[in-house]
Amino acid sequence: MSLKLGFQGSERLREIGLFGGLGDEVLQDLSGSLDMIELPPGAVVFREGDSGREMFVLLDGEMEVLKQSKRKHETRVAVLGPGDWFGEMSILDVLPRSATVRAVAPSRLLRLTAHDLDSLYRRDLRAYSLLVLNIAREMSRRLRVCDNLLAELVANVIDEYTRPNRNG
């Protein structure tokens, strides 16, 4: 049985950046059509390498994003809270999942499928464009954060290996 946000859910969606700029009618349609999932702590939403044609919006709870190294060691790379969304890369580029996402606390998610996006595209091109633009803005923000982290990491490595040996 799938749960729905229902009529009052449109107010909840309005608070989430992914749905920024969307009109009342679109928000009501989405709140009545998107599936809601409840997860216990430790539940895995998807694993790195899985195929996927859906993304998720975290309504309540906490999720962790895990990346696996070549040595098969999982590292937490992000913690997500209410209002955050994830899984959008696979819905856009049709490639396997780039990370594992797991519930840290009891969580409620909304599922937005490629079919949901296609339906929005067919009935309201403006709303579809706004939603995709909101996804692109968040992906751009995340890329900037990664660029800064990479620059800092490279600078630290260069500093470590080019520093004169103090032990003589």
**What is the CATH number that goes with domain 9-162?**
2.60.120.10
Q: Coil, strand, or helix at residue 86?
A: strand
Nearest partner of 77 among 61, 57, 63, 88, judged by Cα = 63
pLDDT for the residue 161: 87
- Tell me the pTM: 0.83
Buried b (16+ CB within 10 A) or exposed e, 36-68: beebeeeeebbeeeeebebbbbbbebbbbbbee
The tens digit of pLDDT for each residue in 19-74 reads: 999 999 999 999 989 999 999 999 999 999 999 999 999 999 999 999 998 888 89
Task: Break the chain into its structural domains and give their ranges.
Answer: 9-162
Section 117-136 average pLDDT: 95
Q: Residue 115: is its pLDDT beyond 80?
A: yes
pLDDT for the residue 1: 47
In eight-state DSSP terms, residue 3 is: B
Section 104-122 average pLDDT: 95
Section 111-139 average pLDDT: 94
CB 87 within 8 A of CB 101: yes
Contacts for 114 with CB less than 8 Å, ≥ 6 apart: 53, 54, 91
pLDDT for the residue 160: 84
Section 151-166 average pLDDT: 83
Q: Residue 159: is its pLDDT beyond 70?
A: yes
Give Cα 122 to chain centroid, integer Å.
24
Q: Residue 8: is its pLDDT beyond 70?
A: no
Give residue 150's identity as a one-letter amino acid code.
L
